[in-house]
Structure 1
């Protein structure tokens, strides 16, 4: 009887927990690879870009498994993943993993979309998600006091499609060279890191 009670209390891992373990392992692998870099700024940029790619893929899987539209909102030194509740974009409930993340000092992130999308509209065309004035007004009315209206720049649909984008992580040090890494997303996950770039400043 005691054995039965103990066995009934044993719980397995959820799929999202397993995915989190995979992301953590990815971070550990990236950390090992960072030992080959001599420049601290390059290490940080590589680490931040690797983390972003892992979190983006995890967010896409989360949205797919839970049938939730996910949006990526990027500022100069931070990013976060939001869910659409039918009226506005908001933090995913009970999912602190996807809340606003601030990059390490002296590192910025920027998004670009030029040349990544086809000429014809697709389900993930950014133009289809830009709300008009009436929709913006409705979203603002749904906000609680002191909340900020956030409209994502990249969208992750429940069917697995994503807005094509390029996220560039770069150092902001005032020296002769700027180091950057691109994370490329092309319609479907997983996103991938592009070769490191070393730019000579004038």
Structure 2
């Protein structure tokens, strides 16, 4: 004859529930970190561009020598105006050296003093030392050409816009994008 116990517990123990919640929490955290880090390189590049543009403005104020930036489809270059020679010279070294963007990044430049249409950015032929015309100018009085430079990538759900106004103020704006597929 079998003994029948009156306490038939068919539920989960507290330990089992805590372990399951801990596993779910870890999975959510890992997924959140992996999705959030996708736009980190793009954000870093936008912040770097803004910092370099601020630096160019500060150097222009300190040296009383105009500085400019030229953009192309793969990156950007800084120039300093030679007052004696009357020409723009590429800054090839230091913090304002030429910068190459990640090949996945999309760069768009708009000059806000004009009709606000995007500027067609050329691709450079690196075998030919092609000069890139400056588009944004920093003046010794602290002014600059009003602009908006947008950095985006097909795999990132945000785009970053670095903007500068006539008074020399530079900032970064973030825009959330709706992508097909729900992210």
TM-score by length of 2: 0.64
Aligned residue pairs, count? 136
Report runs of 4+ in structure 1 exceeding 2 Å deviation.
Answer: 35-41, 116-119, 146-150, 199-202
Q: Aligned match of 1:159 in 132, 136, 141?
A: 141
Structure 1: tracts of 5 or more residues without a match: 1-34, 120-145
Tell which structure's C-alpha radius of gyration is larger: 2
Contact 1:178–1:201 (Cα < 8 Å) also in 2: no
The two structures, once aligned, show a CA RMSD in angstroms of 2.7
Q: Aligned residue for 2:132?
A: 150
Superposition deviation, residue 108 in structure 1 = 2.4
Q: Which has the higher helix share?
A: 1
Q: Aligned match of 1:169 in 151, 159, 169?
A: 151
2:170 is equivalent to residue 191 of structure 1: yes
Structure 2: tracts of 5 or more residues without a match: 1-31, 116-127
Q: Aligned residue for 1:179?
A: 158
2:57 is equivalent to residue 60 of structure 1: yes
Superposition deviation, residue 80 in structure 1 = 1.6
Q: Aligned match of 1:69 in 54, 61, 66?
A: 66
2:104 is equivalent to residue 106 of structure 1: yes
Query: Mean Cα displacement is larger for which, 159-168 or 104-113?
Result: 104-113
Q: Deviations over 1:85-129 (max 9, x none)?
A: 143211237x5211111123411221012xx3389xxxxxxxxxx
SS in 2 for 1:108: strand
